[in-house]
Amino acid sequence: MCGIAGIMALNDQDVSIDLIKMLKAIEHRGPDGSGVYVDGKIIYDDLKNLTAPEGSFGLGHNLLSIVGTEVSQPIKKHDFILVANAEIYNFREIKTCLKDEYNTDSDCEVIISVINQYYKGSLLDAVVNSLEKLDGDYAFAVYDGKDCIVVRDPIGVKPVYYGENLLKGIFAFASERKALWKIGLKNLEILPPDHILLNGVPVKLEKRNNSISDTQEVNLSCLESSLISSKYKNRIKKDKSYYKNELKELMISSVEKRIKEISDVGIIFSGGVDSTIIAKLSQELGANTTLYTVGNETSIDMEYAIRTAKILDLPLKIKTLDVDDVRMYTELVLNAIEEFNIMKLGVGMPSYIASEMANIDDIKVVMSGQGADEIFAGYHRYIAFYEDEGEDAKKHLKEDVSNLYHVNLQRDDAVTMANSVELRVPYLDKDLVEMVMEMPMKYKMGNGKENLRKCILRELAADLNLPKEIVLRPKKAAQYGSGIHKLLVKKVLKDENYKNKLEARYKNIE
């Protein structure tokens, strides 16, 4: 994953200096190289030495190299320019499917190849038709010399913010708000996953009916799902056995694609059922897996994590916090999440510190259990919804999943990328989400008791031979399980002057 930025002048003035300012503001997202495209010219260099040519339209990129011979962007191909904060999990399948000429080993290059297959003069049609063929977490901008389109993955794992300053005469977008604040933009918006930016204007994303001529080769049928779980599709009755089989196969596939070609991976680990399943599968799939746990001296997460790591025979790295540690990390985490939000601060701090530890260990990819509570009905409020509405309670889960992008996912991406570590979220794989959201609520709720929410996921944990105490462990939110919320609210932010100072800082820049 990386950091992207783009800027266009509304009055043809030079934007080169502002483009470099934006990239420097998000250097932590990609310390392995940078590049810019401005009015037809591309330049690559270390960010400290990078200068942009003068021009009125520019795209920029900071690279976080994960595997292979990943190259600096922007990428130029087929008369398109691309900057992407992306991990395309099916890029090798796309390369096999599309007999294009590939100039790099980057997974992002295939985005252009797919778009080019659909391109008939309308970049909008080409991009929209391409999205269903991309399996991954992404935010990217593509330019054809006339139009610039910015788009996100369907769940919204990777963020994009945008805004304009009419006095300065500029529109810009970037992976983080601080890049836009740096050039004087305020009142920023986050791009919803169901919208794209077309030349700076948000447009509702809809399926396009782009006709493809018989003579134009669009051979993408080989990208249809080839998951092992497809063998169950022909069952007439979708009973619990069907969903359990599907869940197991899709979870294995989801974790596998996220650790493929990665020798060392970290897990943000609470010792709960969600993160333990991921750890177990990662281990069984052969990755060198390290667990990272953060909490105070009375943390229940710490207690469970230590016991579970020992059972799994996996290395566990621990950071035990006191009030002075929480005070020190408060401003670091606030700088990452870019807003004064006590809930986000308390939840984000364990992930920030876990990714910091992973960075010290030279691990560039960590996974977490983010999204499991939303798709498997893990929160207490779902009990009342289910008791009142039965199967119709699905709508609340769908609503929560659709809102993940601007709360949980924004926070988690921000705190991990602040440490130049990429977060991957197996429970939000698009095939897994689609299947689980179809699954009847009764298989998730059990009899509605506290320890039986996420019932079918707990059964998967039992099938994976995880200890019973983990299978039945009740949900405990990260800020409470870690013990950080208590230190934060009752100690650090009890100082009203300090709290007001922090809150005012973010009100002034927003």
Which residues are marked as active site?
2
Contact (CB, 8 A) for 173 and 162: yes
pLDDT < 70: residue spans in the chain: 1, 67-70, 207-237, 447-452, 510
Q: Enumerate residues 6+ apart whose C-beta is below 8 A from 1.
A: 29, 30, 64, 66, 85, 86, 87, 137, 158, 417, 422
- Closest C-alpha to 338, from 482, 181, 150: 181
- Half-sphere exposure of residue 392, counting CA atoms within 13 Å on the CB side? 3
At the topology level of CATH, where does 228-500 sit?
Rossmann fold (3.40.50)
Tell me if the bond preceding 74 is cis, omega within 30° of 0: yes
* The 264-268 sheet, strands edge to edge: 316-321, 288-296, 264-268, 365-367, 422-424
**Residue listed under structure tokens 């927003």:** 510
Q: Which of 282, 279, 228 is nearest to 260 (CA)?
A: 282
pLDDT the model gives residue 447? 66
pTM of the model: 0.93
Q: For the segment 119-144, what is each residue's pLDDT rounded down to a tens digit?
A: 999 999 999 999 999 999 999 999 99
DSSP 31: B
CA 250/CA 253 separation, integer angstroms: 5
Quick check: helix, strand or coil at residue 103? coil
- Which residue in this structure is represented by tokens 């701090």? 349
pLDDT of residue 211: 40
Structure tokens at 350: 């364990």
Residue range(s) in the chain whose domain bears CATH number 3.60.20.10: 2-205
> Of 148, 154, 94, 140, whose CA–CA distance to 124 is shortest?
148
Position 479 scores a pLDDT of 76
Q: Where in the chain is the domain with CATH 3.40.50.620?
A: 228-500
Those residues whose C-beta lies under 8 Å from the C-beta of residue 405, and which sit 6 or more positions away, are: 152, 155, 156, 157, 159, 190, 192, 193
Helix (H, G, I), strand (E, B) or coil at 471: helix
The DSSP bridge pattern shows strands 41-45 and 34-38 to be: antiparallel
Sequence letter at residue 269: F
For residue 105, the model assigns a pLDDT of 81
At residue 481, the pLDDT reads 78
Rounded CA-CA distance 217/220 in Å is 9
φ and ψ of 461, to 5 deg = -60, -40
Decide if 314 contacts 449 (C-beta within 8 A). Answer: no
In tens, the pLDDT along 222-248 reads 655 444 344 445 545 689 999 999 999
pLDDT at 68: 55
Tell me which architecture the domain covering 2-205 has in CATH: 4-Layer Sandwich (3.60)
Instruction: Measure CA 336 to chain center.
Output: 15
Position 74 scores a pLDDT of 96
Q: Which residues pair with 76 in a beta bridge?
A: 81
**84 φ/ψ angles, rounded to the nearest 5 degrees:** -140, 135
What counts of helices (H) and strands (E) characterise the chain?
21, 18
List phi, psi (to 5°) of 176: -140, 155
- Name the 3-class secondary structure at 204: strand
